Amino acid sequence: MGEFRRLLKFVLPYKKFLIISIFVVLISAFVELSMPYLIKIAIDKHISPQVVQLNKIPEWKDKYPQAFYENFVLIYEIPNHLRSELEKLGYLSEKKYYIISDSMENAIKFKDKYIISVEEYSKLENKFALRKDDIKAIIFISVVYIGLLVLDFILVYLQILILTILGQKSVFEIRTKLFEHLLKLRIEFFQKQKVGRLVTRVANDADAINEFYTSVLVNLIRDIVLIIGIVILMLIMNVKITLIVLSIIPFLIIASAIFRYYARKAYDNVRRILGDLNAFLNESIVGISAIQAFNGQAHMFKKFSNVNTDLYKAFLNVIYVFGIFMPIVSLASSIAIAFLIYQGGIDIIKQSFTFGSLVAFINYIEMLFNPIRDLAEKYNTMQSAFIASKRIFLLMSEKTENYSQGKIIQDVKGRIEFKNVYFAYEEENWVLKDFNLTIEPGQKVAIVGPTGSGKTTIMNLLLRFWDVQKGQILLDGVDIRELNISFLRSQFSWVLQDVFLFSGSVKDNVFLYRKNGKIENYLDYFGVSEYIKVDKLVNERGTTFSQGQRQIISFIRAIANNPKILLLDEATSSIDQETENIIQKSLEKLLKDKTAIIIAHRLSTIKNADKIVVLYNGEKIEEGKHEELINKKGFYYHLYSIQFEAIN
Q: What is the pLDDT of residues 508-565, one digit of tens each?
A: 777 775 656 677 777 776 666 666 776 677 776 666 777 777 777 777 787 777 788 8
H or E element in which residue 97 lies: strand 92-100
Residue 222 pLDDT: 82
H or E element in which residue 421 lies: strand 416-424
Is the model's pLDDT at 145 over the cut of 90?
yes
Q: What is the pLDDT of residues 249-265, one digit of tens each?
A: 888 878 877 887 787 78
Is the model's pLDDT at 331 over the cut of 80?
yes
Highest mean pLDDT among 4-18, 276-290, 403-417, 549-563: 403-417
Residue 149 pLDDT: 94
The mean pLDDT value for 338-363 works out to 85
Is the model's pLDDT at 645 over the cut of 60?
no
Q: Which amino acid is present at 550?
A: R
User: How many other CB atoms are found less than 10 A from the CB of residue 516?
Assistant: 12
The mean pLDDT value for 121-141 works out to 85
Report d(CA 515, CA 507) in Å as an integer. Answer: 10
Per-residue three-class SS string for 162-187: HHHHHHHHHHHHHHHHHHHHHHHECH
Q: pTM for this structure?
A: 0.67
Give the end-to-end CA distance of the chain in Å, rounded to a whole number: 74
Torsion of CA 353, 354, 359, 365, to 10 degrees: -20
- Residue 38: pLDDT band (50, 70, 90) is very high
Beta strand spans in 442-562 (E):
444-448, 470-475, 478-479, 492-496, 504-505, 537-538
Report whether 411 contacts 564 (CB < 8 A): no
The mean pLDDT value for 27-40 works out to 91
Report d(CA 554, CA 547) in Å as an integer. Answer: 10
Q: Residue 502 in 3-state DSSP?
A: coil
Report whether 256 contacts 311 (CB < 8 A): no
Cβ contacts of 620-629, under 8 Å, gap ≥ 24: 620/435, 620/436, 620/437, 623/437
Report whether 348 contacts 48 (CB < 8 A): no
Backbone angles phi, psi at 495, to 5 degrees: -110, 120
The mean pLDDT value for 580-596 works out to 71
Is the model's pLDDT at 432 over the cut of 80?
yes
> Which residues are 185's β-sheet partners?
400
- Residue 150: pLDDT band (50, 70, 90) is very high
Per-residue DSSP letters for 331-353?
Answer: HHHHHHHHHHHHHHHHHHHTTSS
Is the model's pLDDT at 574 over the cut of 60?
no
Q: What is the pLDDT of residues 210-250, one digit of tens each?
A: 777 777 777 777 888 888 889 998 888 888 888 888 888 88
Average pLDDT of the chain to the nearest whole number:
82
More confident residue, 34 or 392: 34
User: How many other CB atoms are found less than 10 A from the CB of residue 322?
Assistant: 18
Q: Domains in the chain, ordered, with CATH?
A: 2-40+135-396 (1.20.1560.10), 416-647 (3.40.50.300)
- Residue 578: pLDDT band (50, 70, 90) is low
Of 605, 612, 607, 611, nearest to 583 by C-alpha is: 605
Highest mean pLDDT among 255-259, 292-296, 503-507, 510-514: 255-259
CA angle 72, 75, 78 (to 5 degrees): 110
Is the model's pLDDT at 59 over the cut of 80?
yes
Of 224, 243, 227, 248, nearest to 80 by C-alpha is: 243
Percent of the chain with pLDDT over 70: 89
Q: What is the pLDDT of residues 1-15, one digit of tens each?
A: 555 666 677 777 777
Q: Residue 501 in 3-state DSSP?
A: coil
Residue 648 pLDDT: 44
